Amino acid sequence: MLSESALYLSLAGIAAAMCLILFIVEMVFPIIKKSRRITLSLLLLFVISIRFFVTDNVYIITDNNQWKKYYLLIPTQMQIENGHYTFLAPKIDWYPHYWIINNGMQTAYFESVAYGMNDHKIDRIKIESYQLLAIKEINYFFEPPPRRLNSLLPIKYVGWLYR
C-alpha cells in the first residue's frame, strides 16, 4: 500500500522514465520523431489509467476518529493492531473500489444515503472492531452529511462513516 504522495511520486517517476526512454530512442532512430506527440499522449494516458483503473482506496480508521488513506496497487498482507493479518488484493474495474479497515476496539458504522426523488434512502452497515469492509464510496468521515444536496443527477449517493 502506498500513501497518496508516494503513489503520485512513483507515477511521476514512471512517466519521467518513459519519456527519457522515448527521448533516447528518438535520438537513435530519427524517423520516430514524427509520432512524438502521439506517443507522449499514450504514455500519459497509461500513467493516468494506472491511478484510476488499477488502484483501490484503503481507509484505515482508529479509535480516536482518525483515518489514513492509502492506495493499493499490488496484493498486500497487512497486520492489524490485534495481531491478525488481512489480505487485500486490488480489483481492476471501471469504477474505484474502497476498503475500510477498522483498526480499533470501537464499532464504526457506514451509511449510504441517497439524495433525490423526495425520499432519503439509508443503508446502514456495522463495522466491528478489527474488521475489513468493502464499500462503494465514502464522502464524509466522522461528520454528518448535509440534509440537502444539490446535484445534476436525479439520485446522488453519499457514503458516511461515523461511530
Q: What's the whole-model pTM score?
A: 0.72
- Say how far apart CA 160 and CA 101 lie, in whole Å: 15
- 1: how many CB neighbours lie within 10 A of its CB? 20
Give me the torsion for CA of 97, 60, 138, 3, rounded to 10°.
-70
Report the half-sphere exposure of 121 (CA within 13 A, side-chain side): 8
Task: Render pLDDT for 124-143 as a digit per residue (tens, 0 to 9).
Answer: 889 898 888 888 788 888 88
pLDDT band with cut points at 50, 70 and 90 for residue 158: confident
| pLDDT reading at 36 higher than 80 | no
Max CA-CA distance within the chain? 65
What is the distance of C-alpha 6 from the center of its chain? 13
- Say how far apart CA 37 and CA 43 lie, in whole Å: 10
pLDDT band with cut points at 50, 70 and 90 for residue 121: low
Q: Calculate mean pLDDT across residues 52-78.
A: 84
